[in-house]
Amino acid sequence: MTSENIQIILPLLQKQEVELYVKREDLLHPFISGNKFRKLTYNLQEAKKQKKEYLLTFGGAYSNHILATAAAGKEFGFKTVGVIRGEELEIDLQKTFSKNATLKKASEFGMEFLFVSRSEYNQKKEITFLDKLQIKYPNSYLVPEGGTNSLAIKGCEEILTTNDTRFTHICCAMGTGGTVTGLINSSLKHQNILVFPSLKGNWVADEINSLKPNKKNWKVILDYHFGGYGKVSDELITFINQFKKQTSIPLDPIYTGKMMFGLLDMVQQTQFKKGSKILAIHTGGLQGIEGMNVLLKQKNKEIIQ
Ligand SMILES: *Cc1c(COP(=O)(O)O)cnc(C)c1O
C-alpha cells in the first residue's frame, strides 16, 4: 500500500529554491489514520495468527491510536478494550461522549473502556498491572501505548518506497518514536530524517535510540513542540488554517501542524540548502481536530477550519 506525494507550491519555497512534497498517509483510511494504520497492520496479522479475541491497548482521551485500534478491531474482527487515562471520564459517560468525539466514535466501533487514574495508567508497562488486565480480558493481544512495538516499526518501514529515493530530507512528527524509527530503517544513507517531537523534553533522542534504528542519519528538532503534548498556540492554529487555504491540505494540531510549521520556519531561516528536496510525512491525526475545537471554543479562540 502506497500513498501519493503531493507537491506544495508556496512563494517561500520558490524563493528559497527548495522543493516540498507531502506524503498523504492521512488518506489511507478514514479512522485508522496514517501511521496508526502502518503500526497496526502486522500486529493485526499476529493477533489473528495467535487467535486472540481482544485487542487491548492504552491511550489518552483524545488518542488517535485509541480510535485507530477501535476501528481496526471492528474491521478485522476483534473485540477491543481501551485503557484510558482519567477515571473522572467515567462518572458521566454520556457527557464525556458529548464532549469527546474520539471516545464517542471508539465506543461506536464497539470498544470497551477501562478508565484508570493517572497513577494506575503510569503502570501500563508493569507486569503486575498487565497480568491483572489479562485476567480481566483473557485471550487479549496487547498493543502498547501509541502502538509502538517491533511489528509497528516493521509496518512503518513500508511508508517510504523506491519512488522516494530522490528526496534529500524526510520530515516526520514524533510521539513514541515508532514511526520515525521505521522511516530511518528504510531510508537511504544520504537522506536526512528530521524528527519533530510534539512532546517537550530532551529525552526524545534516547527514546528513538532505545528502538534501535539501523542508521544515524536522523536529527531531532526540539524547537516546535509549542509547550508540549496537546498544547497549541494562536499562531499554530492560524498557521494550520492558512496552510489549508493555500494548499487544500488539512493538518492536525497535535502532530502534523507542528511539524509543518517547524519545517517551513526552518526553510524561512535558510536551514535547507538550495536544491533540497523535502518529503514531509502526513501521518494523519485529523480526527483530533474536533476535540481540539471544543477546547478552543471554550476559550473563545480561533478554531481549526
Ligand atoms: C501517533 C501519531 C504520531 C506519532 O507517531 P509515533 O510512532 O508514536 O512517534 C505522529 N502523527 C500522528 C498524526 C499520530 O497520530
Same domain, 163 and 256: yes
From 37, 206, 283, the mutation candidate for ligand 1 (largest count of ligand atoms within 8 A of CB) is 283
Last residue of a domain, one of 147, 180, 214: 147
Lookup: cell for 292: 481540539
pLDDT, position 94: 95
CATH of the domain at 46: 3.40.50.1100
Cα 207 versus chain centre, distance: 16
Is the distance from the beta carbon of residue 35 to the nearest atom of ligand 1 less than 6 Å? yes
Atom of ligand 1 nearest to the CA of 34: 13
Stretch 54-63: mean pLDDT, rounded? 95
Is the distance from the beta carbon of residue 34 to the nearest atom of ligand 1 less than 6 Å? yes
Instruction: Give the pTM.
Output: 0.96
Atom of ligand 1 nearest to the CA of 285: 13
143-186 tens-digit pLDDT: 999 899 999 999 999 999 999 999 999 999 999 999 999 999 99
What is the tally of structural domains in the chain? 2
Atom of ligand 1 nearest to the CA of 26: 13
Which domain range does residue 90 map to? 35-147
Same domain, 224 and 118: no
Enumerate the H helices of the chain as residue ranges. 11-16, 34-49, 64-76, 93-99, 101-108, 118-121, 127-136, 150-156, 178-186, 204-210, 234-247, 256-268, 288-298
303: in domain:
no
Is the distance from the beta carbon of residue 284 to the nearest atom of ligand 1 less than 6 Å? yes
304: in domain:
no
Give 178 Cα–ligand 1 centroid separation in angstroms: 8
233-270 tens-digit pLDDT: 999 999 999 999 999 999 999 999 999 999 999 999 99
